[in-house]
Chain A
Amino acid sequence: KQEVTQIPAALSVPEGENLVLNCSFTDSAIYNLQWFRQDPGKGLTSLLLIQSSQREQTSGRLNASLDKSSGRSTLYIAASQPGDSATYLCAVSMNRDDKIIFGKGTRLHILP
């Protein structure tokens, strides 16, 4: 049974710092991995999608990497801003069009 773990559960950093959020999964035979952002009381927004054959994806100040064999992914946020404060969730899919399995998220607070 696939399990997704995110560490740390919460993180506070000063504005301007670069930071890394971690995600690990127990079954390395994934189809893809996604990072989502969730603002308090809101739905989820997809940030980056990495296919199993890819090593990383970039969007603006965000960079997500995937090491499938070791069951790990990281989300790198450069030059953090207060607007980046949110919960970030990692999720994996085992097959195309299949259900995805979420981690519990990392609650990020950027201090102005």
Chain B
Amino acid sequence: SQTIHQWPATLVQPVGSPLSLECTVEGTSNPNLYWYRQAAGRGLQLLFYSVGIGQISSEVPQNLSASRPQDRQFILSSKKLLLSDSGFYLCAWSRRDIQYFGAGTRLSVL
């Protein structure tokens, strides 16, 4: 069976510090991978998606970047966090039109 791991579950970072969130998928190969952010009152916003290693599409201009160094690994990064980067970050993978989500990371930038 397939599983998706996302860590850490909670993160508190000061403004200007770097960020690295990691997501890995097990039990499948060549999945489509997604990073979403969920902010209060704004719904779920797609940040990046990837259809293969090294292939990243960005949906919105922002302070974040994504990388896919391996087939089942998706990393969300920032060099310098802003207050507005606070939110709930979700990783997902898809197969046969269904998206499967990780448990999420709650990021608070102070």
Contact = CB atoms under 8 A, between A and B. Distances in A.
Interface stretch (A18-26, A67-75, A78-86, A101-109): A101-109
Interface stretch (B14-22, B69-77, B98-106): B98-106
A45 B32 CA distance: 17
Contact of A41 (B6, B46, B92, B106): B106
Given A46-B98, A49-B97, A105 B43 contact: yes
A31 B99 CA distance: 14
Majority secondary structure, A binding face: strand
Given A36-B101, A93-B97, 9 more contacts: A31-B97, A34-B99, A43-B6, A43-B90, A44-B44, A46-B100, A91-B44, A99-B34, A104-B42
Interface of A: 31-32, 34, 36, 41-46, 49, 51, 89, 91, 93, 96-97, 99-105
